[in-house]
Chains A and B, each alone.
Chain A
């Protein structure tokens, strides 16, 4: 007991020494608190982002594996077999809805939905929204393109219905059939909303549809009106849809400027028509039944008038772990090796946490350096302190105080000073951690953005646009989340943390303080144990 009392008295007796140690520990603890807080904030922000994220994944062909199969073997004999590659690619068939549903039975899958996408044309009374600027001075070529674009044959061309190879004609409208309400992500996340009428019944066979406000205004349509859409491969094949609702989309816009670079009218979100999967499927089934197949005499290529359709299935997972498990288990359920499970959400998430990860890593190195330097400084200070107190050790042991008790007293002194300094350091660190973390995070994001834009400039592109050099006044395109393949907008980084220092950080900080005090005390214990009272007292100056 007297050891504790003596230690506390001794702290006050040697104010100078202990204030110096306190200041050093305070500096270490503020730095350590910031380092720990940054790491904790980064970890928490990442967890929160993950928790708030719905992970969606698709099953698609693994083109890379087919490419690898076509590569020359290790002996170097033979080259890349182009014909075999073309054949393999032709044989590639997307999974049917039934196959997709089989894999949706996996326990890890929280939800599954699918869409059917078909390209269709309008009719005389129903035209696609066209924002392209056509002037009298600009002459059009046979394909309806301005000459200023030069020879663009073989490329996607803007304007009304055009032909793309064996796929047949591309219509002016993108008609999407949704399996369930949950498939309509734009409506779920609030990007789109019904402004008039209602959404069609989930799973209905009726040819009820919803159209964009822009399209409705453009064609003077209202809820209850009927619209006629046609097969772009066969203008005689028409279908009548009933408008049950009109929606507004707050984000997706494609301007005339964007369309100059090769987008058809159907790529304009205003020209998207939504209906249920079953309704659209009934249309494509009819189209297939009524289709005529012709063979090109020159190429021998078969062309059908049936509307080409594209089915896309989306698996929804609650956690990353469940997604990871699914990517493994799906092959046990019979998925062929040529298919791969991928998630753009995971990629986007990984991209969004890059600055945070960098900051966290930087904080770790900073923490290690601070602790290493801090430990060295404290050990040195303690060694000097004990040497200075050599006489005190001699007297105390000469009058019968055991050496280990003297060591404990010295250790307690260091511990008390350290804990006080760490507490103050923790308070200062906790107060400043959020602004400091956000400030550092901002620098990291700026650095990442600058690196990204620098890279794009090296490629001669305007940062944030994938279309090459465009005039400054050219509007930018905003693609919806999940539109992979194009990099239309800068990565959305996690740019702010709301809290940094929590009880975990404070406990870690206290642990660090105790650890530093123990490390520093070891030096004094070693010295105290080595001292001989008689030598100290007889050799005293």
Chain B
């Protein structure tokens, strides 16, 4: 049974059609890769799936509920974790604060948020000392790991990630992919937008946008 389903999704920026009649289904426990050439609409599709962009036509169903009847903020804060290509972290906050804030926004009952956040950050490869640094003082790769930790912080059903390994070295890339696999095995639905063949290869399903 699909956790997320899109039917005949169309999206246009001004008059330029970016997505045209896209219909996909995503299930729990799998990793999906969306691939395609630059400008094919991969990031746009991810925005539509995260509820940030409203399709010009078509339907989106989350857990069989039409997204039109779902509160977008609640959807983004509880059910879907997004790893943005540009990370979109709050630069005046530390890595830890970014993760804790995300937990706060989700309103999910999490005991000892700080401890959970440290563990998550450690899991993506950030030491305690690095976790307490302001995001701006972290490298691109470290920021990407913070973004991943933030997306995982409130234990969402779906993880949407735009080029999650784009700025990571091969070793860290492997570690991240391992984490994603573990999450999929734990029953999460992982949807990745990627240019990386390696990422695509480890995916269960690959959707090609033309």
Contact = CB atoms under 8 A, between A and B. Distances in A.
Contact of B92 (A5, A13, A537, A540): A13
B40 interface: no
B82 A399 contact: yes
Nearest to B13: A538
B86 A540 contact: yes
Task: Using C-beta atoms within 8 Å of the partner chain, give the interface range for chain B.
Answer: 20 to 34
A55 to B, nearest CB: 66
Task: Please classify the interface of chain A as helix (H, G, I), strand (E, B), loop, or mixed, using the class held by over half of its residues.
Answer: helix
A5 B97 CA distance: 12
Contacts of A537: 84, 86, 88
B102 A399 contact: yes
Interface of B: 47, 52-53, 73-78, 82, 84, 86, 88-90, 92-93, 97, 101-102, 104-106, 150
A534 interface: yes
Interface of A: 2, 5-6, 9-10, 13-14, 392, 394-402, 533-534, 537, 540
Nearest to A2: B104
Contact of A400 (B53, B73, B84, B88): B73
Contact of B47 (A392, A401, A534, A540): A534
A399 B92 CA distance: 16
B194 to A, nearest CB: 19
Given A6-B101, A395-B89, A400 B52 contact: no
B47 A400 contact: no
A537 B89 CA distance: 11
A400 B97 CA distance: 16
Nearest to B90: A395
Interface centre among A392, A395, A396, A399 (most CB of B within 10 A): A399
Nearest to B79: A400
Contacts of B105: 2, 396, 399-401
A13 B52 CA distance: 28
A399 B86 contact: no
A392 B97 CA distance: 14
Given A2-B101, A394-B88, A537-B88, A399 B150 contact: yes
A401 B84 CA distance: 16
A352 B75 CA distance: 71
Given A14-B92, A398-B82, A399-B105, A534 B73 contact: no
Contacts of B75: 400
B109 to A, nearest CB: 13
Contacts of A6: 101, 104
Contacts of B90: 392, 395-396
Contacts of B82: 398-399
Nearest to B100: A2
Given A2-B101, A6-B101, A401 B77 contact: yes
B155 to A, nearest CB: 14
A533 B97 CA distance: 20
21 contacts: A5-B104, A6-B101, A10-B92, A13-B93, A392-B90, A395-B88, A395-B89, A395-B90, A396-B105, A397-B73, A398-B52, A399-B77, A399-B88, A399-B105, A399-B150, A400-B73, A400-B74, A400-B75, A400-B77, A401-B77, A401-B105
Contacts of A13: 92-93
Contacts of B150: 399
Given A6-B101, A13-B93, 11 more contacts: A5-B104, A6-B104, A396-B105, A398-B76, A398-B84, A400-B73, A400-B77, A400-B105, A401-B73, A534-B47, A537-B88
Contacts of A400: 73-78, 105-106
B87 to A, nearest CB: 9
Contacts of B53: 534
Contacts of A399: 76-77, 82, 88, 101-102, 105, 150
B113 to A, nearest CB: 10
Contacts of B84: 398, 537
A9 B74 CA distance: 24
Contacts of A9: 97
B128 to A, nearest CB: 20
